[in-house]
């Protein structure tokens, strides 16, 4: 496929445009679920099921681990004095400093006149780690992805038109090919409240539509937690769960645990040559509760991760420490074959973009050929792909 590196082309496939799910299923748990049995189960083909059947597909004492991060409506439309509209996605609080190197920030190519949030037009690096742990956030500077940022002047104030709130724009440049963008409210501001009042949910740009009222509910899991370690994108495998399904899973004896990973560029940014060369993705912060670590260290059943963000947190934690350790952490890990996943025995995940780090992570767990064959079967059987699409349950 055009624009993919050599390694990405090993994970490419042709997807008909009509199979991109631009809206969620009518009911959360009425998505389709492809069941891929363990390789050690001879003669068992993959099965086509429904997500609401998940409680019938798991065993008592299995452990489901999900990412309970809260998605904030951080897509903000701003105006220049000329009236031109600017679209910004607020990633996390960060305070630019001359002592910091630019590779701590998400960057875009300086030669581009229109920085988009899509795969082919930007190359970004790591946001400042740990900055978002300070929860007050009044008057904080945020690092952002900004459309048409090349046209904005240094120190220019952009206005959110409904509230009248101004945000001062800063650009940091390492060289002509690397720039980072920041917005800082001109007066003290509770950003969480501001996002809720004036922001839009950060639905993926490939949906090709504006936010709808239903996205406030459907682009959020039913188990999302408190407003700490919040996210700029949803952990989409968790979107299929309902309260009723969770109750049935618990009644069956399935145990449920959580981690919390702040979903950002490490999950949704396109792979760059730098990512591939350094075998690192953009930094993402996560927390491992003590109860989750204790349960996973003494499982008594299969550990099944709900989504690639959960898997990334679990695998990073166990590789760094040799066992599951509670606490607050950061990961830049980029897992792909020939890596072999050590932390789980099962994975629930949506169908991902060609050549993406998420598809490679799934392949590191289940095997490249096995997963690509499953993707071809999914296309043949008209599964819906990407964030609002269908899911698979795959066992190693």
Indicate whether 324 pLDDT > 70. Answer: yes
Under a CB-based contact definition with an 8 Å cutoff, are residues 348 and 392 in contact?
yes
DSSP 222-274: TT---SSS-BSS--GGGGG--HHHHHHHHHHT-EEEEEEE--SHHHHSPP-HH
pLDDT confidence bin for 42, thresholds 50/70/90: low
Domain boundaries, the chain: 6-71+212-395, 75-198
DSSP 117-181: SSTTT----PPPTTGGG----TT--EEEEETTGGGSPTTPEEE-TTT--EEEEEEEEEETTEEEE
Indicate whether 99 pLDDT > 50. Answer: no
Greater confidence, 178 or 49?
Answer: 49
- Global pTM reads 0.87
Indicate whether 194 pLDDT > 90. Answer: yes
pLDDT confidence bin for 349, thresholds 50/70/90: very high
% the chain with pLDDT above 90: 74
Q: In what order do the strands lie in the sheet with 32-36?
A: 47-50, 32-36, 391-395, 346-350, 303-306, 63-67, 255-261, 280-288, 327-333
Distance of alpha carbon 396 from alpha carbon 365, whole angstroms: 7
Mean pLDDT over 112-135 rounds to 32
Owner of token pair 């599951």: 324
Q: Which of 25-34, 139-148, 280-289 is least confident?
A: 139-148
Mean pLDDT over 51-78 rounds to 97
pLDDT confidence bin for 320, thresholds 50/70/90: very high
Distance of alpha carbon 94 from alpha carbon 144, whole angstroms: 9
Mean pLDDT over 320-345 rounds to 97
Distance of alpha carbon 43 from alpha carbon 336, whole angstroms: 27
Mean pLDDT over 84-109 rounds to 66
pLDDT of residue 382: 98
Domain covering 6-71+212-395 assigned CATH 3.40.1780.10 in the classification = yes
At residue 93, φ and ψ (nearest 5 deg) are -60, 140
**342 CB burial (10 A radius; 0-12, 13-18, 19+):** exposed
Distance of alpha carbon 104 from alpha carbon 283, whole angstroms: 9
């Amino acid at each position: 496929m055009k624009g993919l590196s050599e390694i990405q082309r090993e994970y490419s496939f042709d997807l008909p445009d009509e199979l991109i799910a631009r809206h969620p299923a009518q009911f959360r748990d009425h998505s389709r679920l492809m069941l891929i049995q363990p390789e050690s189960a001879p003669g068992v083909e993959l099965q086509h099921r429904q997500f609401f059947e998940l409680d019938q597909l798991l065993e008592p004492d299995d452990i489901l681990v999900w990412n309970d991060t809260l998605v904030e409506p951080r897509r903000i439309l701003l105006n220049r004095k000329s009236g031109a509209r600017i679209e910004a996605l607020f990633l996390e609080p960060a305070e630019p400093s001359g002592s910091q190197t630019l590779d701590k920030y998400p960057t875009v190519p300086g030669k581009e006149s229109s920085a988009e949030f899509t795969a082919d037009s930007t190359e970004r690096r790591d946001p400042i780690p740990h900055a978002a742990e300070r929860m007050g956030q009044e008057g904080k500077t945020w690092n952002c992805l900004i459309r048409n940022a090349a046209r904005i002047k240094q120190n220019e104030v952009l206005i959110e038109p409904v509230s009248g709130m101004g945000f001062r724009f800063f650009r940091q440049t390492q060289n002509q090919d690397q720039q980072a963008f920041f917005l800082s409210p001109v007066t003290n501001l509770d950003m969480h409240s501001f996002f809720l009042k004036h922001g839009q949910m950060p639905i993926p740009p490939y949906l090709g539509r504006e936010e709808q009222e239903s996205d406030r509910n459907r682009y959020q899991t039913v188990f999302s937690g408190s407003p700490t370690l919040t996210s700029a994108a949803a952990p989409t495998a968790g979107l299929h769960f309902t309260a009723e399904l969770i109750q049935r899973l618990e009644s069956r004896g399935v145990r449920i645990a959580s981690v919390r990973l702040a979903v950002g560029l490490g999950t949704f940014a396109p792979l760059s040559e730098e990512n591939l060369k350094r075998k690192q993705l953009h930094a993402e912060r996560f927390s491992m509760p003590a109860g989750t670590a204790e349960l996973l260290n003494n499982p008594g059943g299969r550990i099944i991760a709900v989504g690639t963000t959960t898997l990334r947190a679990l695998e990073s934690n166990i590789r760094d420490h040799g066992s599951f350790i509670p606490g607050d952490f950061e990961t830049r890990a980029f897992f792909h074959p020939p890596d072999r996943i050590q932390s789980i025995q099962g994975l629930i995940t949506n169908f991902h973009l060609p050549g993406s780090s998420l598809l490679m992570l799934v392949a590191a767990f289940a095997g490249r050929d096995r997963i690509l064959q499953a993707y071809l079967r999914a296309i043949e059987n008209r599964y819906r792909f990407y964030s609002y699409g269908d899911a698979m349950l795959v066992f190693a």
